[in-house]
Amino acid sequence: MKQENLLKYGIWGLILLNIGLLSYIFLDRRKPHRRDFSPPWMIFSERIGFDSQQQAKFDSLRTIHMATLDSLRQASVPMRLQLFGLMDSAALDTTRFVLLLDSITQNRREQEQRTFEHFREVRTICRPDQLDKFKEAMRDVSKFMSKPPHHKGGKGKEDDNFPPPPPIMH
């Protein structure tokens, strides 16, 4: 009789465990997943500790910078469409191909240069006692910006086979 009771309790326990596990899996998929990182601009706002005047200047710089980057990104769209449109013909127009690649490269170079200049400008609004916090925040921001974009269905961890960003020099 004891063995029968033990078997009954064991089966009921396994059934409840399976129901709980299936409920967890089902309910977890329906919940939106929260990102575990802050956008780069929040890293500065939170870590450096800007006063209200610095924060206003930072917000202004960020707005201008983002508008500039959006404009540059939008300018690259037709270039990329033209580049991949070259696949429509059997013979490659190498002159046009090289010209489009150069234009796309120049656009990307300008984006990187503008981003670098933006952060140099942000550095100027920091007080001397905030510069160490700026350097630390800049390391995190550069790491964030250096990660490859995430694609749906990707496998592996974010940092797999990706080198850390170079150290920031004074």
Q: Residue 94: what pLDDT?
A: 92
Max Cα-Cα span within the chain = 88
What distance lies between CA 40 and its chain's CA centroid? 9
Question: Is residue 160 over pLDDT 50?
Answer: no
Domain annotation covers residue 82: yes
HSE (side-chain half, CA atoms, 13 Å) at 74: 6
Long-range contacts of 133-136 (CB under 8 A, 24+ apart): 133/47, 133/48, 133/49, 134/44, 134/48, 135/168, 135/170, 136/47
What is the C-alpha separation between 19 and 113, in angstroms, rounded? Answer: 55
Given a cut of 80, whether residue 102 has pLDDT beyond it is yes
Q: Among 89-103, 105-119, 129-143, which stretch is predicted with the lowest mean pLDDT?
A: 129-143
- Does a structural domain hold residue 131? yes
**Residue 146: predicted pLDDT:** 75
Instruction: Give the structural domain span for 85.
Output: 51-145
**Distance of alpha carbon 76 from alpha carbon 100, whole angstroms:** 10
| 3-class state of residue 67 by DSSP | helix
Residue 15: inside a domain, yes or no? no
pLDDT for 34: 52
| Whether residue 47 has pLDDT greater than 50 | yes
In a domain, 9, yes or no: no
Alpha-carbon gap, residue 16 to 13, rounded angstroms = 5
Check which CATH number belongs to the domain holding 80 and give it: 1.20.120
Residue 58 lies in a domain: yes
In a domain, 72, yes or no: yes
Is 63 contained in some domain?
A: yes
Is pLDDT at 80 greater than 80 in this prediction?
Answer: yes
Q: How many domains does the chain have?
A: 1
- Does pLDDT of 41 surpass 90? no
Tell me if 123 is assigned to some domain. Answer: yes
pLDDT over 50 (residue 144)? yes
Summary mean pLDDT of the chain: 81
